Chains A and B, each alone.
Chain A
């Protein structure tokens, strides 16, 4: 079956620090992979995606590379800002199935 494992949170960083949030997956077939972000008081929104091995998704300074050999899709950002404080969800989709979400990782960035 499908599963997504995210690193345990919460994560607290100082502004301008480097961010990595780990995500590994198990899936039948060849999944597409996603990162969604949930800002305080809002619903989730799509941050970036990658649809095949070695693809790199990027948006708003965030990046994630689809690594088939390690079944991973880690989220990275070189220099975080206070406005990046949110909950980040890794997700996958296979074939005609609906999205399957991980448990989320809360990030807090302090000035």
Chain B
């Protein structure tokens, strides 16, 4: 019963470096999401994928790209990391689009120096 698995759990980058955050779910969910969590800001939606083959921008998409590789996997890429992207990133999935019951991974703590 793995649920939503994110890798890595921790990452430190230098400004300008690139990296990809990986996310996989084993619940056969159609929809997947990437959020960032910042102190005093709550969770903000970066991108989401309503179904395999589709992706859409959320509230704060600038500086990020996503790939819905298949039904299970949804990756988030930072092409040129900036200190403002220091945050905790959560991947989530749901059975269908705009569903209120989201299942979250345990998060990736990213620091950009």
Residues of A within 8 A of B (CB): 4, 32, 34, 41-46, 49, 89, 93, 96-99, 101-104
Contact = CB atoms under 8 A, between A and B. Distances in A.
A34 B102 CA distance: 11
A89 B81 CA distance: 28
Contact of B48 (A44, A93, A98, A103): A98
B105 A98 contact: no
A102 B40 CA distance: 9
Interface string B12-54: 0000000000000000000001000000111111001000000
User: For chain B, which range describes its interface: under 10, 10 to 19, 20 to 34, or 35 or more residues?
Assistant: 20 to 34
Given A89-B43, A98-B33, A103-B40, A44 B104 contact: yes
Among A32, A96, A104, which residue has the most Cβ atoms of chain B within 10 A? Answer: A104
A97 B104 CA distance: 18
B58 interface: yes
Contacts of B41: 103
A93 B98 contact: yes
Contact of B45 (A34, A98, A102): A98
B60 to A, nearest CB: 13
